Amino acid sequence: MELRQKDINRLETMFARECQIAIDTLAYHGMSEEQYATFETCLNTFIKYNDLKDFISGTLLSKIKEASRFFYPDKKENWFSFRKLVRLLIKFSDEESVDVFVSFLLTGRRPHHFFVLLEEMVSNNMNTASAQKVFESLIATHNYDLDIINKYMSVIKQDAYGFTKRLVENSHYGGLCRYIRTLGLDMDRKNCWVSRSFLLL
């Protein structure tokens, strides 16, 4: 028996409400792997309806933005939930939403959250060029320390040679200068620690 349009709308609204509750649960209470897998399968089934797709994409984006304000790597449980939310965003949202989230994280100075997103994009074989461009263009102005730059290099699987090449080719000279100075500062700090340890001896 074919469903009438009215019934479809009603079911879509019900499903959307349930989705919102599930996303809230994932964000604030966490989900077991099993629950998460069920939720993902469910989304996979219903995402083909355009209205639902837009709704889920919008809900995920706003929830994940909210979550990134108070989810930090040192709070492990929250951090796992954040990663799961990122996974959902990547799977069920369009490129534009991901770009919006990249800008939101980087302009809001949340590089660690950005790395989770980048890791998930890499593992899903997504094109990371524009996300990388945004990060690299901000190295000069955001004064990232060496740990952050090293973490970025490890996520995009590049060594110092390749990273320098990227910065040079994309004319991010300010970023490159900042990177070189950061390395110099780090060397100074290490030398300082060595001389301090000698003094203590």
Residues that bind other proteins (CB under 8 A): 159-162, 164-165, 168-169, 171, 173, 176-181, 183-184, 187
Least gap, CB of 152 to other proteins (angstroms): 15
Locate tokens 């797709």: which residue? 53
Other CB atoms within 10 A of residue 88 CB = 24
Comparing CB distances to other proteins, the nearer of 29 and 157 is 157
Residues 117 and 84: beta-carbon distance below 8 Å: no
Nearer to other proteins, 35 or 191 (CB): 191
Burial class of residue 200, CB neighbours in 10 A (0-12, 13-18, 19+): exposed
**Cβ 154 to other proteins, closest distance in Å?**
15
- DSSP for 5-70, please give it: HHHHHHHHHHHHHHHHHHHHHHHHT---HHHHHHHHHHHHHHTTSHHHHHHHHHHHHHHHHHHHHH
- Nearer Cβ to other proteins (60/139): 139
Please, which residue, 2 or 169, has the CB nearer to other proteins? 169
* Separation of alpha carbons 9 and 190, rounded Å: 64
Specify the residue, 119 or 186, whose C-beta has the smaller distance to other proteins.
186
Residue 159: CB atoms within 10 A of its CB come to: 10
The number of C-alpha atoms within 13 Å of 178 and in the hemisphere containing its C-beta is: 18
CB of 39 to other proteins, least distance (A): 44
Instruction: Tell me how far, at minimum, the Cβ of 109 lies from other proteins, in Å.
Output: 23
* Least Å from the CB of residue 146 to other proteins: 10
- Beta carbon nearer to other proteins, 113 or 178: 178
Angstrom distance (rounded) from CA 187 to CA 166: 23
CB atoms within 10 A of CB 147: 11
The distance of closest approach from Cβ of residue 166 to other proteins in the complex, given in angstroms and rounded to an integer, is 9
